[in-house]
Structures are given as C-alpha cells and as structure tokens.
Amino acid sequence: MAEKPTGSVPCRRTSCVRAAGSGTRGFCESDYRRQIRMGLIGWRDAKAARRHVALLRSLGWSYEQVAAEAGVSTWVVHKLDIGVTRRLRRESETALLAIQVRPHESQRSVDGTGTYRRCEALLWMAWPWPEIARRVGVAPYTLATLRTRREPVSYRVAMRVAAAYEELSHLHGPSKQTATKAQRAGYAPPAAWDEDSIDDPRARPAGIRRAS
C-alpha cells in the first residue's frame, strides 16, 4: 500500500497518496479538479443565497446570528446582503441555504407572514379573533389591524401566536360563523402548512378549499 508523501501536506482525501497542492483547499491537484467537476466545491452565483439571507433578515435575524448558524464570518453575510458579493464559495452557499426559515429573537421586528398565516388557519378552524387575541395578550382590534395592514410584528407577538397555533390548530373552535367566513375568504387550513413552510413568504399553501 502506498504511503502518504513525507515532507509535505497530504491530500485531504484519506485514500489519496499525493501531496496537497497550493490553493487547492487541501486536495491534490487531481482531486481538486475532480471536486470542481462534481460541483462539490467552486464558486456560485450569490443570488440565491442573497435572497435567503434577506428573508432571514426579514424574520428578525441579525448578521451575527446568520453567520453563526451557517458557520461563516459575519463579514461574508453582510457583504452578501448589501449586494457587494456577487459570487461565493459553494460550501458557504450550501450552509446559508440550509438555515431554516423561521423567526429569530433579536431587536428587529419580524416579517408577519407566518403570524398571519397562523391566525388565518385558526380562523379557518373556527377560533374567533377575540379568543386568538386573548391567548396572544393583545387586543383583538390590534391583532386584526396588524394582519390587515400586513405589518411586521414583534418577536414576542410572533412567538405567542405560534404557541396559540401549536395548541389550537388541531382542535375545532366554537364559532362556526368564523370558520365559514374564513373558508369563503380562501384562508388556508392548518393542514396546508408545515413547520418548514408557514413562515416562508415564498411558500404556497396546499389543499385550500372554499365553501360553496
């Protein structure tokens, strides 16, 4: 069995006996070219990662929180978000796109999409605004107005709505009139969403039914 080369840094592929090249990320020249051909390393257009970072930012994430979650530097995330970065390493893109779209506690307000979807789903399940608002700890008018205007919400409100949704979304509420109005309005039921899609503005509900 061939031995690893001595006096130089070995290729990072454990079964390779060649020395690592210069500027090849720890691979020998041959393995480095193979990694590029396979699309495992190299440079990628930054557009997809930029959109994802912008979405996370709208949900309250700070640059530091995104960077920590992806295992990249804060400077990478910042330059990507402001449009300075046009290309980024595939590894960085993969790590950034792997971050789940969800609200994150910070000093920023968060996009209200997931909050309003949860409210609409609870209305669909016959839970009226006063009961939803009571559990969230705000006035019914306040919650309904925020939804109508599609304004950002605080992280506290987002999490309280999420908790009410977790508790009630599998139960039918007391107001048949509320359910009828919600279903006629085309609101999506809880079954139309999963935890990976409900907070993502890009996602679309499945299985919406309108009352006849």
Q: What is the pLDDT of residues 83-141, one digit of tens each?
A: 888 888 888 898 999 999 988 887 678 889 999 999 999 999 999 999 999 999 988 88
Note the pLDDT of residue 39.
Answer: 55
Share of the chain above pLDDT 90, in %: 40
- Residue 204 in any domain: the answer is no
The total number of structural domains in the chain stands at: 3
For 60, 70, 72, 138, 158, the CA distances from 96, given in Å and listed in that order, are 16, 5, 9, 35, 23
- Residue 181 in any domain: the answer is yes
Q: What is the pLDDT of residues 177-186, one digit of tens each?
A: 999 999 999 9
In a shared domain, residues 125 and 187: yes
- Residue 125's domain comprises 113-192
In a shared domain, residues 32 and 51: no
Q: Which of 91, 118, 113, 99 is nearest to 193 (CA)?
A: 118
Q: What is the pLDDT of residues 140-151, one digit of tens each?
A: 888 888 888 888
- Residue 103 in any domain: the answer is no
pTM above 0.85, yes or no: no
